[in-house]
Amino acid sequence: EVQLVESGGGLAQPGGSLRLSCEVSGFSFNTYEMNWVRQAPGKGLEWVSYISSNGSTKFYADSVKGRFTISRDNAKNSLYLQLNSLRAEDTAVYYCARVRPPGYYMDVWGKGTTVTVSS
Amino acid sequence: SYELTQPPSVSVLLGQTASITCSGDKLAEKDVSWYQQKPGQSPVVVLYQDRKRPSGIPERFSGSNSGNTATLTISGTQAMDEADYYCQAWDRSGVFGGGTKLTVL
């Protein structure tokens, strides 16, 4: 069974840091591109970041550029998102999602991990 | 930055046809995906590359993309289709529409 399981969310202070993880199983992780997508409480979906299958190409939303870093460890079947300089507006459920070309749609999603930024 | 615009809400009578639009500059030049999200659940892709259905998605879900507008159509709408729907495209970064709440009356 294909599975994505996020972890690492929690409460952080403004200016603080968190590291999110997404552990995958049931497919050859090293052959798939991946995204992080977030959803603030009561709001819509927001794409956050993309990483290629070998980790050499990364893209970020303008709202997180310079503060968040996406990475992956194909040997550990894991995707990561390092969140630095956190702001209240980063409060959201963070989902990892598998990317399928062509079209770069997301065919498998995790259940999400919640990040709350508050003092 | 690229933007996708959706109506905030659409209502449809049970068994009738619902249409949800997604507008963006020259959207027909891009591949559009549609996601369904029910309360408390993760999104699920219902269409990709404008009109293709993943396995397990009912045939009542269809799509089109022309000019500046992509459309998700649900024929014979069922109560279980009540959800939020998001369009998505790629333009040097991922872009989602603001989402449309579909209410089945």
With an 8 Å Cβ cutoff, is A100 touching chain B? yes
Instruction: Give me the DSSP letters along A58-114.
Output: EEE-TTTTTTEEEEEEGGGTEEEEEE-S--GGG-EEEEEEEEETTTTEEEEE---EE
pLDDT in tens, B45-100: 999 999 999 999 999 999 999 999 999 999 999 999 999 999 999 988 899 999 99
All residues of chain B having their beta carbon less than 8 Å from the beta carbon of residue A62 are 1, 93
Q: Strands A92-100 and A113-117: what pairing?
A: antiparallel
Q: How many residues does chain B have?
A: 105
**Disruptive mutation site among A39, A58, A104 for chain B (greatest number of B CBs within 10 Å):** A104
pLDDT in tens, B24-49: 999 999 999 999 999 999 999 999 99
Question: Which tokens belong to A17?
Answer: 């840091």
Nearest Cα residue in chain A from B6: A44
Whether residue B5 has pLDDT greater than 90: yes
Side chain identity at B47, as an amino acid letter?
L
Mean pLDDT of A28-35: 96
**Disruptive mutation site among B32, B42, B44, B84 for chain A (greatest number of A CBs within 10 Å):** B42
Nearest neighbour of A105 by CB, restricted to B37, B45, B92: B45
Nearest Cα residue in chain A from B8: A44
Whether residue A104 has pLDDT greater than 90: no
Upstream peptide bond of A41 is cis (omega within 30 degrees of 0): no
